[in-house]
Amino acid sequence: MPETETQVRELTLGEAVREAIAEEMRRDPRVVLMGEDVAEAGTAFKVLTGMVEEFGKDRIIDTPISEPGFTGIGVGAAMTGLRPVVDIMFGDFMTLIMDQIVNQAAKVHYMSGGKWKVPMVLRTTMGGGRRSAAQHSQSLHAWPSHVPGLKVVLPSTPYDAKGLMKTAIRDDNPVIIFEDKMMYRLKGPVPVEEYTIPFGVADVKRVGRDITIVATSSMVQVALGAAKLLDEAGISAEVIDPRTTWPLDEKTLIESVKKTSRAIVVDEGYHRYGVTAEIASVMAEGAFYNLDKPIKRMGAMHVPIPFSPPLEDATIPTERSVFEMAKELCS
Amino acid sequence: MTTTPTPERSGAEIGVEKLLRMYRQMTAIRLFEERANDLYLRALMPGLTHLYEGEEAVAVGICEALRPDDYVTSTHRGHGHCLAKGAVPNLMFAELLGKEAGYCRGKGGSMHIADPATGNLGANAIVGGSTGIATGAAFASKRLGNGRVCICFFGEGALGQGVLYEVMNIASLWKLPVIYVCENNMYNEYTHYSETTAGDILARPAAFGIPAESVDGQDVRGVHLTAKAFVERARQGKGPGFLLCNTYRYRGHHVGDIKRDYYRTKEEEQQWMEQRDPIRRLANWMIEQGLTDRAALDRIDAELKTQMDAAVEFAINAPYPTPDEVEQDVYA
């Protein structure tokens, strides 16, 4: 093996997540992982297959179906010397753990005058398109993004998923990571060599001139697809992924829209009062005099995610709908 | 629940030094709470506070069974737990008044006092809100092999919260060194617990295979000896315990709750204060046994009063945090 060249291989997003957690567990004996069916089952999405064989059942810990209970245990364990990764199978179950996250984890450090810390990672899923209906398809990352004391991470590529997970595990704050469950098999280049990705640094996924498309998680691939279509129509789109909704890289977002003077924000969370509203507002305030058109927001429709495929497909932005919106803005 | 005094457990084996320390701690909590109430009445304290008077034997009897590095989680009625675990009154009062010198730099207040130095994981203003944290601390203790035990204090109102049963189930499965201490002061805020609590309380931990005992929470010697056995058992790796302490809240739900006749009678309050007061009971017993005399106890009382008054003065004179602190400590 050459020592100087950076080795890169293709990994799926799921494999990148697993590799990140495994590396951190080898590096730091304080890291433990707990959740429902995480050990032999390797999670419902098989993301953690093989982990229990390497780290044993003392560190890859199956819990009862008690989300508030084991999330609370994660908070207490984080305060007292461990660095737990808590696995919440579906992001929809955020509803069950809100007290532990919002009233406990997020506030412990501040309420104690900075004396206690909660170095905990909570990884969960988001995203529709899996025909899982209204209670297993939501993207609720706007909720924790609203709460001071939490950091919220949304990886969109295997490279980002690995680097951001490693940063999350090393962070001294509660960090919530939403992984799009439809993207676990998405492949992408990941260096063999160790790396981390800092929070609050957006990634320009594609450079462009005419319009900025800010997209998160599942919507990054959608935005890149739309950008390709736009290219064919003679419109050059810049695609930016903030990667973390908090901390938010306001500077990169504002600079981009200053350059393009048009923007769309696309996110799979509900449109109303969503992440898109915050990002659009940040950009509008920062680049008001550079804007040629009002900033447009695209999110999930304001309906419970339906089961029937033609209905579900209508609720989430697509390459085509983003393309149409961008074309209209650039006309 | 009966208000008839239960027979006192023998406490001779506790030793006079420990007994006097428990007398001192209970008296300190009583005097602290009297002054907290006074600060409220004098409009010197922002907000409200929930007083622990009447329940002192629970916190003191239990914390006396702990090592300094053991953990506690506390409740909205938490001053007693914090003091019993080693908090100092001047920093407590400073926190109650929102001063920078307070345990949480004034950012937590009465319901959120926390202090790593004394193993206090924090008081918690969500009923049952610290049950997960307590069980998590026990989980970490076991995983790290540091021999620490965690006491999870909660009121009987928390018996209505589902998360308590989730963590008791897990603590039993994983044999975690946590002791769930239910302080039954008989009132969920303004409602008698019999209106909110079905069946037998001790049957609940029993359903998870957690050893459980009920004690007279006004008898500090009984509380202490029972807690000691649970703590030793937990430290030996034998798993969680559940201690039901039957006690009474002398004052209202909070300092502003002064008109209480719609939910309990003056006679009931009177009976608990006159016949079962935990401080007087311990004092009388020690004097009867010839372990101390009234004069010695009076000297302790006087010394504590001076200390508490000085602590109040310290807090009143301490500066507030400056507004530029507001954004500090949101993130570590």
User: Would you list the domain boundaries of chain B?
Assistant: 15-318
pLDDT > 70 fraction of chain B, expressed in percent and rounded: 96
Q: Answer yes or no: same fold for A12-191 and A203-330.
A: yes
* pLDDT of B270 over the 70 cut: yes
Chain B contacts of A104, Cβ < 8 Å? 124, 126, 129-130, 132-133
Chain B contacts of A58, Cβ < 8 Å? 143
Tell the CATH topology of A12-191: Rossmann fold (3.40.50)
Structure tokens at B131: 């049950």
Residue pLDDT, tens place only, B252-269: 999 999 999 999 999 999
Residue pLDDT, tens place only, B33-55: 999 999 999 999 999 999 999 99
Tokens 């406990």 appear where?
A104
Quick check: ipTM above 0.90?
A: yes
d(CA B325, CA B249): 36
Domain A203-330, CATH class in plain words = alpha beta
d(CA B271, CA B3): 8
Interface test with A, best of B91, B144, B161, B163 (most A CBs within 10 A): B163
Distance from CA of B81 to the nearest CA of A (A): 16
pTM, rounded to two decimals? 0.96
User: Would you list the domain boundaries of chain A?
Assistant: 12-191, 203-330
What average pLDDT does this structure show over B234-257? 97
* pLDDT of B149 over the 80 cut: yes
Is CATH 3.40.50.970 correct for B15-318? Answer: yes
Which residue on chain A is closest to B172 by alpha carbon? A64
Residue B312, phi then psi, degrees to nearest 5: -65, -45
Q: For B121, which of A58, A114, A116 is closest by C-beta distance?
A: A116
A244-246 and A151-153: which strand pairing? Answer: antiparallel
Please state, as a whole number, how many other Cβ atoms lie within 10 Å of the Cβ of residue A262: 21
DSSP H stretches of helix in chain A: 13-27, 51-55, 67-79, 94-98, 106-111, 142-145, 158-170, 218-232, 250-260, 275-287, 309-315, 319-330
* Of the candidates B155, B89, B98, B156, the residue with the CA atom closest to the CA atom of residue B123: B155
3-state secondary structure labels for all residues of B63-114? HCCCCCCCEEECCCCCHHHHHHCCCCHHHHHHHHCCCCCCCCCCCCCHHHCC
Number of alpha carbons in the 13 Å side-chain half-sphere of residue B326: 2
d(CA B164, CA B246): 19
Interface test with B, best of A73, A107, A150 (most B CBs within 10 A): A73
Digit-by-digit pLDDT tens for chain A (331 residues) are 445 567 999 999 999 999 999 999 999 999 999 999 999 999 999 999 999 999 999 999 999 999 999 999 999 999 999 999 999 999 999 999 999 999 999 999 999 999 999 999 999 999 999 999 999 999 999 999 999 999 999 999 999 999 999 999 999 999 999 999 999 999 999 999 999 999 999 999 999 999 999 999 999 999 999 999 999 999 999 999 999 999 999 999 999 999 999 999 999 999 999 999 999 999 999 999 999 999 999 999 999 999 999 999 999 999 999 999 999 999 9
Chain B contacts of A64, Cβ < 8 Å? 166, 169-170, 173
- CB contact under 8 Å between B332 and A103, yes or no, is no
> For residue B6, what pLDDT band results from cuts at 50, 70 and 90?
very low
Tokens 């602290």 appear where?
B32
Q: What is the pLDDT of residue B11?
A: 62
Active site residue A141: no
- CB contact under 8 Å between B166 and A113, yes or no, is no
Residues 139-158 of B with CB under 8 A from A: 139-141, 143-144, 146, 150
Chain A contacts of B108, Cβ < 8 Å? 111-113
- CB contact under 8 Å between A104 and B124, yes or no, is yes
Q: For B170, which of A70, A111, A148 is closest by C-beta distance?
A: A70
Side chain identity, residue B212: A
State yes or no: cis peptide before A247, omega within 30 of 0: yes
* Of the candidates B30, B5, B77, B57, the residue with the CA atom closest to the CA atom of residue B278: B57
* pLDDT of B8 over the 60 cut: no
Chain B contacts of A99, Cβ < 8 Å? 126, 129, 163
d(CA B14, CA A138): 58
The DSSP code for B115 is B
d(CA B115, CA B82): 9
Q: For B329, which of A76, A104, A113 is closest by C-beta distance?
A: A113
A31-35 and A60-62: which strand pairing? Answer: parallel
Give the angle subtended at the CA of A147 by the CAs of A145 and A152, to the nearest 5°: 35
Q: One of A136, A141, A146, A271 is an active-site residue; which one?
A: A136
